Amino acid sequence: MPNRDYAARAKKNKKGTNRSLILAILILLLMMSGLGLWVLKENAPVQTIPTQTVAPSQPKSTLPSPPEEVYSYIRDLETREVPVDKNSKLAKLTKEQEQQLQRQKEEEQRKLQQVQAAQAQVQLNEQTKETASSETDAALAEELSLKKAKEKQLAEEKRQAELKKQQEAAKKAEQQAQVKAQTKATEPQKPKQEPAKVVASAAKPADIAKPAAGKYGLQCGAFKNKAQAENMQARLAMAGYNARINSNGEWNRVVIGPIGDRAATSAAQSNSRSVAECLIVGM
């Protein structure tokens, strides 16, 4: 069996480890030095190089020298007097300049007058519109009031004509009834003939029958409309009167009675005035 030198092998391994460690340290130092140089370069101030600016050369003026002669307008401007206020002296102006100033003044005055006239016309138009509107409103109100008054007057005239017509009809009926009653009262009755005896002589006044006592009632209206007649009948019935409706043709007459003689009928007429205006008629 061969002999092995373990001590020499250990020394050899130890030398290899030392070399690798030194190599690693050198690489690390190089990296650190490179990083330091990069940091220093970034933080170093930038050097600015001053640049020289060259001013452009201006060409020399080639204008001629000012004239030595003094012009007349310069002398006029130097000696001209300009007015400062109303009391100062007027400047020396030519006739054309004075005419031009006068024309400008007249033009400005004319424009001012036109503006004032336009404003006055606008105010006048507004006042005219307001006046016309108020007059129209007043005319409409007056026309409406006149129309209402006319309608009221026509209604009143119609009512008066209807009432007058009713009164005339009632009066006519009353006159006819009175004439009928008077005719019936004055008409003599024929004497009764005795069966066994015939009297040829004229009848005695005692044999003439006495006229029957007249009966009167009240007429409280004559209406063409049946509903109005029924309304009047109901009002009289509520007041305690026994009223009825007599229809004759197109007229519906509301009557009360017969009541009795004329005195009793007149008293009933006075009492019924609180309900309606009734007329005395014969029945």
For residue 248, the SS3 value is strand
Q: How far is CA 65 from the centre of its chain?
A: 85
pTM: 0.28
For the chain, give me the number of helices (H) and strands (E)?
5, 4
Triad 18, 22, 28: Cα angle to 5°: 150
One-letter amino acid of 192: K
Mean pLDDT across the stretch 125-137? 85
Please list, in sequence order, all residues whose beta carbon lies within 8 angstroms of the beta carbon of residue 229, skipping any fewer than 6 positions away: 221, 223, 245, 252, 253, 254
Please give the Cα distance from 36 to 34 (Å, whole number): 5
Give residue-wise pLDDT tens across range 175-218: 777 777 666 665 554 444 444 333 333 333 333 333 345 588 89
163 pairs with which residues across the strands?
none
Of residues 145 and 121, which shows the higher confidence score? Answer: 121
258 CB-near residues (< 8 Å, 6+ apart): 215, 216, 217, 283
* Boundaries of every domain in the chain: 165-186+213-282
pLDDT at 57: 64
Query: Is the predicted pLDDT of residue 128 greater than 80, yes or no?
Result: yes
42-56 pLDDT per residue, tens? 886 666 666 666 566
- Yes or no: say if 181 and 214 are a contact pair by the CB < 8 Å rule: yes
Assign residue 182 a region (left: φ > 0; alpha: ψ between -120 and 50; beta: otherwise). alpha
Residue type, 88: S
Could you tell me the CATH superfamily of domain 165-186+213-282? Sporulation related repeat (3.30.70.1070)
- Please state the rounded mean pLDDT for residues 147-173: 83
**Burial bucket for residue 278 (CB in 10 Å: 0-12, 13-18, 19+):** buried
- Summarised one tens digit per residue, pLDDT across range 78-102 is 776 666 555 444 445 677 888 888 8
Q: What is the predicted pLDDT for the residue at 203?
A: 35
At 31, the amino acid letter reads M
The H or E element containing residue 243 is strand 243-248
For the chain, what is the mean pLDDT? 76
d(CA 233, CA 42): 130
Is the distance from CB of 232 to CB of 276 less than 8 angstroms? Answer: yes
Q: CA triplet 276, 282, 283: central angle to 5 degrees? A: 100
Residue among 275, 238, 278, 280 at smallest CA distance from 259: 280
Do 220 and 254 form a contact (C-beta atoms < 8 A)?
yes
What token pair was written down for 52? Answer: 């020289």
DSSP secondary structure string for all residues of 150-219: HHHHHHHHHHHHHHHHHHHHHHHHHHHHHHHHHHHHHSPPPPPPPSS----SPPPGGGSPPPPPP-EEEE
Would you state the pLDDT for residue 4? Answer: 58
Return the bridge partners of 254, or none.
Answer: 245
